[in-house]
RNA sequence: UGCCCGAUAGUAUAAAGGUAGUACAACGGUUUUUGGUACCGUUUGUCUAGGUUCGAAUCCUGGUCGGGCAACCA
């Protein structure tokens, strides 16, 4: 606890609690997702916070599914959530479910009824809403509020027994209908839902509301620090009230500002819409801000953890620039990804003075950032090469360190070449570039004495393998789609996915596997798509390289 | 117009009454067989008006702005 980095407000709270001897210095947090969707980068922040806090203070973290609404929750989501948390690199102490506590929570409700602090209300949802009043006017009690304990006990038991249809009755806490905090105006504790639950099946037809399940689950598990997002601040008074009335373990709730990332959306509802309406391929579409999408895109767990560390945590609303996420993945991949060559937008380059039919084997280190290059690989060189179309210009501007008639570049790990000529087809498209190579300039044995500014990547035509390459851009055209007028989907970026059906890659790339990052030199970081096949290799671009080259303004 | 939370460079986040710092971004430069990396440098900030104090980003009061709260969602 002696690092230079200053503490965030949650760490301060924990350290104060430990110093005060609260809970005997014990720290137990929980990550409590509702299994109604896939986890996204915003959840990653919460995961890193909860697990990180526990790790730092020798505590533990439970994974608890907040599964109190059977109509929205599915086992598929439970499984994906577990995968994602594990993939991020965290281990939970216990895998738990709010539904594990349904019996206990039911008994808590009975106890509250017995204390005269809960009652069965026959009113409709609309009536209850009306009777709650408004923020400026107090609510008004109805005739059900004064039901006897005995009657409430019987009615609640009947609710549980399935004697009433959905919506016929609810159980409410008797708190304060005039409270300035609307959440205290006799909040609902239980509602009737004749629905199949993914874990408890048809055992229950009444289910506790969030406010009567979350804090109770925390208390049952003896969670010391229950960390949630800002919108739950008004719930805290209720959280404390239930715990106090039921005399449970006094878990404490603390709130932080959720993550917002620009050029994307983060609500599960909106993400679900993108999936169901086919705007993306699925929850794991590489453009999605989901953990599974980021994973498929090529993001590493370490980069996401680093991102969560860097964004910090506070109580003010924030909008983080995706540029920071991209910085984090580049920083990680620069140190770990092997370098390979791939030509994404090919044009043929012929070395007119290189013998036809000859092949040389060139060598390149795997990663110059690693001591010794992290080993090396071989790749063939020949008379005909694929090079990047953008590496040639018919009329090159000043400081264009690539090809143009009369200009020289180095072919990475090979020879220096000089551009002599180019060929156009009938439509005026450039189809071939003719160069001559300098035999004495071979990498490692260069006696030419010539220094060139530019180095370009290339692939030998007869040895090239092909792959499909998918380039991704931000999903939305505006920074904050949900703040714009109209439907957020009106602001989808039509060019968020660009498919290059035929890119040429060096032979060694046949060994690529999903999740193993590779840098296509000068083009960015890529990873093999999880649905790629040996027949048809598909690479996803994780992120571009930072590009310092700015073409001069064209007058 | 009730209650609650918040306000520090473009974006985040520190400074617990005592030099406003860090990161990302932007811009310039050095190095470079990736216009990458690394390294060096530059620009940019305490919402506002009062008050307390020797001294205020910090404490107090008013205002302004942003967000949240009246789901049988979590």
- DSSP code for A468: E
Closest CA to the C1' of B27: that residue is: A548
Identify the three-state secondary structure at position A233.
helix
Percent over 90 (pLDDT), chain A: 96
Q: Is A22 a catalytic residue?
A: no
Contact A125, A86 (CB under 8 A): no
**Between A4 and A534, the higher pLDDT residue:** A534
Summarize pLDDT for A371-400 with one digit per residue, the tens.
Answer: 999 999 999 999 999 999 999 999 999 999
Average pLDDT (A515-539) is 97
- The C-alpha atoms of residue A366 and residue A372 are separated, in whole angstroms, by 9
Contact A343, A388 (CB under 8 A): yes
Summarize pLDDT for A16-28 with one digit per residue, the tens.
Answer: 999 999 999 999 9
A410 nearest nt, CA–C1'? B33
Contact A479, A262 (CB under 8 A): yes
Alpha helices in A247-373 (DSSP H): 268-276, 291-297, 301-311, 322-336
Q: What pLDDT was estimated at residue A550?
A: 77
Contact A204, A190 (CB under 8 A): no
Q: Is 60 exceeded by the pLDDT of residue A452?
A: yes
- The C-alpha atoms of residue A159 and residue A137 are separated, in whole angstroms, by 31
**Residue A108 buriedness (CB in 10 A; 0-12 / 13-18 / 19+):** buried
Rounded alpha-carbon distances, angstroms, from residue A418 to A228, A349, A407: 62, 11, 6
Summarize pLDDT for A312-358 with one digit per residue, the tens.
Answer: 999 999 999 999 999 999 999 999 999 999 999 999 999 999 999 99
Provide, in whole angstroms, the distance separating residue A318's CA from nucleotide B13's C1'.
Answer: 11
Summarize pLDDT for A75-104 with one digit per residue, the tens.
Answer: 999 999 999 999 999 999 999 999 999 999
From its phi and psi, is residue A245 left (phi > 0), alpha (psi between -120 and 50) or beta? alpha
Active site residue: A15, A22, A34, A199, which one? A34
Rounded alpha-carbon distances, angstroms, from residue A235 to A17, A113, A206, A242, A428: 22, 21, 22, 11, 68
Provide, in whole angstroms, the distance separating residue A501's CA from nucleotide B38's C1'.
Answer: 35
A137 nearest nt, CA–C1'? B2
Q: Is 90 exceeded by the pLDDT of residue A5?
A: no
The ipTM, to two decimals, is 0.97
- The C-alpha atoms of residue A201 and residue A195 are separated, in whole angstroms, by 8
Q: Is 50 exceeded by the pLDDT of residue A555?
A: no
- The C-alpha atoms of residue A392 and residue A386 are separated, in whole angstroms, by 12
From its phi and psi, is residue A406 left (phi > 0), alpha (psi between -120 and 50) or beta? left
pTM of this structure: 0.96
Q: What pLDDT was estimated at residue A553?
A: 54
Residue A1: band (very low, low, confident or very high) from pLDDT cuts 50, 70, 90: very low
- The C-alpha atoms of residue A42 and residue A87 are separated, in whole angstroms, by 15
Provide, in whole angstroms, the distance separating residue A544's CA from nucleotide B59's C1'.
Answer: 49
Which bases in strand B are touched by protein, i.e. have an atom under 7 Å from a CB? 1-8, 10-16, 23-25, 27, 33-38, 66-74
Q: Is A258 a catalytic residue?
A: yes
A401 nearest nt, CA–C1'? B35
Summarize pLDDT for A237-276 with one digit per residue, the tens.
Answer: 999 999 999 999 999 999 999 999 999 999 999 999 999 9
Provide, in whole angstroms, the distance separating residue A431's CA from nucleotide B37's C1'.
Answer: 34
Closest CA to the C1' of B10: that residue is: A321
Average pLDDT (A437-453) is 95
A207 nearest nt, CA–C1'? B72
Q: Which pair of tokens denotes residue A463?
A: 């040895």
Contact A266, A138 (CB under 8 A): no
Beta bridge partners of A197: A201
Active site residue: A30, A64, A172, A268, which one? A268
Provide, in whole angstroms, the distance separating residue A324's CA from nucleotide B23's C1'.
Answer: 9
Provide, in whole angstroms, the distance separating residue A269's CA from nucleotide B7's C1'.
Answer: 29
Q: Is A268 a catalytic residue?
A: yes
Q: What's the mean per-residue pLDDT of chain A?
A: 96
Closest CA to the C1' of B14: that residue is: A6
Chain mean position to CA A59: 25
């Amino acid at each position: 606890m002696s690092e230079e980095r200053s503490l965030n407000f949650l760490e301060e709270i924990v350290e104060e609690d430990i110093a005060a001897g609260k809970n005997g210095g014990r720290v137990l947090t929980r990550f409590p997702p509702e299994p109604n969707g896939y986890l996204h980068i915003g959840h990653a922040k919460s995961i890193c916070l909860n697990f990180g806090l526990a790790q730092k203070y020798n505590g533990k973290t439970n994974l608890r599914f907040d599964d109190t609404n059977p109509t929205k929750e599915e086992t598929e989501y439970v499984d994906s959530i577990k995968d994602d948390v594990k993939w991020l690199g965290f281990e939970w102490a216990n895998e738990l479910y709010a539904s594990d506590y349904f019996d206990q929570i039911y008994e808590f409700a009975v106890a509250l009824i017995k204390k005269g602090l809960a009652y069965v209300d026959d009113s409709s949802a609309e009536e209850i809403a009306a009777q709650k009043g408004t923020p400026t006017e107090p609510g008004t009690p109805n005739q059900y509020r004064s039901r006897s304990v005995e009657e409430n006990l019987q009615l609640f038991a009947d609710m549980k027994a399935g004697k009433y249809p959905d919506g016929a009755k609810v159980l409410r806490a008797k708190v304060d209908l005039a409270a300035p905090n609307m959440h205290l105006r006799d909040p609902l504790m239980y509602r009737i839902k004749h629905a199949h639950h993914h874990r408890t099946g048809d055992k229950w037809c009444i289910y506790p509301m969030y406010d009567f399940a979350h804090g109770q689950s925390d208390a049952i598990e003896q969670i010391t620090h229950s960390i949630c997002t800002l919108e739950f601040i008004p719930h805290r008074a209720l959280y404390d009230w239930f715990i106090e009335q039921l005399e449970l373990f006094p878990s404490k709730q603390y709130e932080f500002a959720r993550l917002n990332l620009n050029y994307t959306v983060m609500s599960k509802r909106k993400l679900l819409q993108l999936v169901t309406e086919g705007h993306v391929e699925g929850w794991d579409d590489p453009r999605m801000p989901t953990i599974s999408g980021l994973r498929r895109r090529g993001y590493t767990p370490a980069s996401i953890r680093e991102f969560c560390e860097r964004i910090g945590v506070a109580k003010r609303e924030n909008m983080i620039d995706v540029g920071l996420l991209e910085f984090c993945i580049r920083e990680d991949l620069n140190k770990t990804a092997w370098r390979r060559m791939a030509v994404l937008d090919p044009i043929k380059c012929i070395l007119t003075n290189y013998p036809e039919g000859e092949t040389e084997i060139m060598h390149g280190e795997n990663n110059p950032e690693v001591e010794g290059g992290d080993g090396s690989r071989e790749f063939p060189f020949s008379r005909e090469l694929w090079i990047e179309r953008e590496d040639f210009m018919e009329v090159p501007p000043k400081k264009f360190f690539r090809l143009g008639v009369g200009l020289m570049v180095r072919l990475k790990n090979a020879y220096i070449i000089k551009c002599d000529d180019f060929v156009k087809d009938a439509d005026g498209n450039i189809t071939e570039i003719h160069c001559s190579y300098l035999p004495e300039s071979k990498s490692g044995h260069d006696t030419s004495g010539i220094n060139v500014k530019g180095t370009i990547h290339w692939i030998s035509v007869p040895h090239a393998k092909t792959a499909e390459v998918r380039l991704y851009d931000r999903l939305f055209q505006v920074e904050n789609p949900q703040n714009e007028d109209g439907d957020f989907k009106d602001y989808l970026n039509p060019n968020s996915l660009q498919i290059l059906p035929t890119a040429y890659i060096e032979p060694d790339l046949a060994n690529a596997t999903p999740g193993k990052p590779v840098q296509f030199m000068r083009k960015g970081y890529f990873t093999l798509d999880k649905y790629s096949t040996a027949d048809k290799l598909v690479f996803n671009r994780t992120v571009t390289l930072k590009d310092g080259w700015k073409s001069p303004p064209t007058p």
